[in-house]
Amino acid sequence: MKLDLRKSLDTALPTEEEVAVAQASYEKLAKHLQNSQANRTIALMQSDTGETFALPESAFCQLVEILAQMARGNAVKLQPIRQELEVYEAADILGVSHAYVMGLLESGKIPYRMEGTSRRMRCQDVLDYKKRNDEERRKILDELAAEAQELNMGY
């Protein structure tokens, strides 16, 4: 059976059969991912021809997430993220408003360049900011949880 790439790129809810296959595959692949070492290349083999090909770990992780969503009956849409972002794209990645991103740019927390009247930033700079911010937030939450434990607040 030949794969129709146009169908696979359409946004549609998975069928009941696809949900069942996704659930079984997700469980197996998620276990493999938890037990594997970081930065490995995954080899996949086509069962009918025996042909193997490599899949980068980052793509494998995304495949596992796609299967997790399909197993829940959700449709999945892949959308590439360009190397250089506009304000609205950075806002989507960070989960904040455009105005908040503008404040981050103006305060120098994320570097940017002007292209006409538009601000452009490197995707990696936005992802680095997100990682730093997430780590700082986790640290603060851990400190608050430890303080609550010390004060016997019941959680």
152: left (phi over 0), alpha (psi -120 to 50) or beta: left
- pLDDT surpassing 60 at residue 130: yes
Residue 78 lies in a domain: no
85 pLDDT higher than 60: yes
User: Angle at Cα 135 formed by Cα 60 and Cα 154, nearest 5°?
Assistant: 110
Q: Which residue segment(s) compose the domain that 12 sits in?
A: 5-71
21 pLDDT tier (thresholds 50, 70, 90): very high
The answer to whether residue 126 sits within a structural domain is yes
pLDDT tens digit sequence for 50-80: 899 888 888 888 999 999 999 999 998 888 8
pTM value surpassing 0.85 = no
- Mean pLDDT of all residues belonging to the chain: 88
Number of domains in the chain: 2
Question: From CA 18, how far away is CA 75, in angstroms rounded?
Answer: 11
Q: How many CB atoms lie within 10 A of CB 30?
A: 16
Whether residues 59 and 93 fall in one domain: no
CA 68 to chain centre: 12
pLDDT interval class at 140 (50, 70, 90): very high
Is residue 47 predicted with pLDDT exceeding 80?
Answer: yes
Q: Inform me whether the pLDDT recorded for 10 exceeds 70.
A: no
| 3 Rama sector, left if φ>0, alpha if ψ -120 to 50, beta otherwise | beta
Is the same domain home to 135 and 110?
yes
CATH code of the domain containing 109: 1.10.1660
In a domain, 53, yes or no: yes
Q: Are 42 and 63 within 8 A, CB to CB?
A: no
Say whether pLDDT at 13 is over 90.
no
- Rounded to the nearest 10 degrees, how much is the dihedral formed by the CA atoms of 30, 34, 37, 43? -10
Same domain flag for 139 and 108: yes
Say if 21 falls within a structural domain.
yes
Most confident of 7-21, 51-65, 111-125: 111-125
User: Tell me, what's the pLDDT at 119?
Assistant: 97
When pLDDT is averaged across residues 3-16 and rounded to a whole number, the result is 67
